[in-house]
Amino acid sequence: MAEILPLKAWRYHDRFLEELDHLMSPLFDVISSKQREILYQNPFNSIHLSVPQGDDSLILAKERLLNWKKEQVIVQDPVPGIYVYYQYFRVSGDQKERCRKGFIAQIKAYDWEEKIILRHEDTRVAAVQDRIDLLHATEIQSSPTHGLFVDPLKELEVHMDEAISQPLYELEDYQGVREVLGVIQDPEIIKIFIHTLKDQPIILADGHHRMEASIQYRMSKKENLTNSLWKASDYHLMYLTPVGGNDLMVLPTHRLFYGEISSQEKFLEKLSEWFQIRGFEDGEEFSTYSFTKPWSFGLIFHDRSYLIRLKPEKWQEVRPELPDSLRRVDLVILHDLVFDKVLGINSKKQKTTTEIGYERNFARCLHEVQSGKASFAIITREIEMDQILEVCKSGHVLPQKSTYFYPKTLGGLLFASINQEEFDYDYSIFLS
């Protein structure tokens, strides 16, 4: 089903090895404005290609890329490879270091309807269009999306472990994560990777906007003629990790409301039609609160906080047209009831409105409310991996920003060209 290929990656020249930490960048949709300003000060940071700035940002990004190639700031590996990518990390309370193991390759940008790449989140039109415009301007992909596959016998792990023992890079990123990159260029081993994935679908964990952009870019280029059996515009850069026992962490993403409400009392009255509401003494305690019961949330105002939970008898009334696998997900309940029914922001408007904010950092949620910038915050719990898999298989999608896989992949470790001349290679040696 899933067709992957190795890639001739563009990477920073070896003269930059000692400063790689300062050339990497967070993904375009998680980087803060303060982080951006700091990274923009380095003329060689990868952010200039992933999130270009200025009124003529697309033109400037294209010119910068051409200059980087000319001046050998980045150079292209002469033969294709599969790039093994390990992320070593800890989360709060961990005594032992975790390791998420995977590899980076090119994957065909299958249309969603083909059900080969399975999504679970909705996207925002403006964010997708931004990524499409950037692909057209630069013909480069500076960060991989994150996909999940099944490898119960861990057949690929032995080859990945061997490659990572002789890394190309090893650095610490903005998350405090130790990032290690290796490469496999042996055609016989690459064949094993291709064969392992060819009979299974891929679950898209992270990067729905970039994946959607690649799909639309592929469609826009479908009439382009090439003598090659492989069209560069068909492919997308992806980090692929096995599902089972691989330290897959999914963290919660909380909601902020920046619109106005007539009064807390009226808002709570409307909520009470659907939710049980209990006063909560200190909103700061939600940072460590265990939401053990389904459809439970923390609601924080400037001066008061509440624990709210869907009334069990009301569950049957929420989106009855959806399969139960979706209706059991907290965020489906939250978006339908709080934002749609209570606040009047329907699902279509939720994709474009600036009134709803998304924030993983609890302290920032608290600050936004206490400073008066946000009317309230809703604290959520993480979605379970089994729920994500069920949603993917159902063909439906969750509200945007429903999952936050941790750690995030890094931008700038390598770049994948979708320029046909740079992409061309006799890939048949990996397929026989």
Tens of pLDDT, residues 111-138: 999 999 999 888 878 889 999 999 999 9
Relative to beta strand 296-300, strand 275-280 is unpaired
Q: Give the mean model confidence (pLDDT) for residues 265-293.
A: 92
In terms of domains, do 163 and 35 share one? Answer: yes
- The pLDDT of residue 223 is 84
- pLDDT tens digit sequence for 157-178: 999 999 999 999 999 998 889 9
Report the mean per-residue pLDDT for the chain.
93
- The pLDDT of residue 123 is 82
In terms of domains, do 186 and 297 share one? Answer: no
Is residue 362 in a domain?
A: yes
What angle separates helix 187-197 from helix 157-164, to the nearest 10 degrees?
140
- pLDDT tens digit sequence for 74-111: 999 999 999 999 999 988 767 889 999 999 999 999 99
In terms of domains, do 132 and 278 share one? Answer: no
Number of independent structural domains in the chain: 2
In terms of domains, do 158 and 270 share one? Answer: no
- pLDDT tens digit sequence for 7-61: 999 999 999 999 999 999 988 777 778 888 999 999 999 999 999 998 899 999 9
In terms of domains, do 239 and 306 share one? Answer: no
In terms of domains, do 241 and 274 share one? Answer: no
Is residue 33 in a domain?
A: yes
Min mean pLDDT across 38-42, 213-217, 291-295 is at 291-295
Measured CA to CA, the distance from residue 103 to residue 83 in angstroms comes to 5
Share of the chain above pLDDT 90, in %: 73
pLDDT at residue 246 is higher than 60: no
- The pLDDT of residue 332 is 93
pLDDT at residue 319 is higher than 70: yes
- The pLDDT of residue 65 is 98
What is the DSSP code (8-state) at residue 318? S
Is residue 399 in a domain?
A: no
Min mean pLDDT across 58-72, 363-377, 381-395 is at 381-395
Q: Which residue has the tokens 């190795």?
A: 6
- Nearest residue to 83 via CA among 191, 192, 8, 33: 8
- The pLDDT of residue 101 is 95
Is residue 68 in a domain?
A: yes
Instruction: With 0.85 as the threshold, say if the pTM is over it.
Output: yes
Q: What is the CATH number of the domain that holds 306?
A: 3.30.1760
Share of the chain above pLDDT 70, in %: 99
More confident position, 383 or 6: 6
- Please report, as a single letter, which amino acid is at residue 285: E
In terms of domains, do 58 and 119 share one? Answer: yes
Q: Give the mean model confidence (pLDDT) for residues 214-221.
A: 96
In terms of domains, do 65 and 179 share one? Answer: yes
In terms of domains, do 26 and 175 share one? Answer: yes
- Residue 245: pLDDT band with limits 50, 70, 90: low
In terms of domains, do 13 and 153 share one? Answer: yes
Question: Who's near 222: CB < 8 A, 6+ residues apart?
Answer: none
- Nearest residue to 43 via CA among 35, 56, 52, 34: 52
Strand partners, 306: 279, 299
Task: Describe the chain by its helix, strand, coil percentages, rounded to 5.
Answer: 35, 25, 40
Range of the domain at 338: 253-381
Is residue 335 in a domain?
A: yes
Strand partners, 370: none
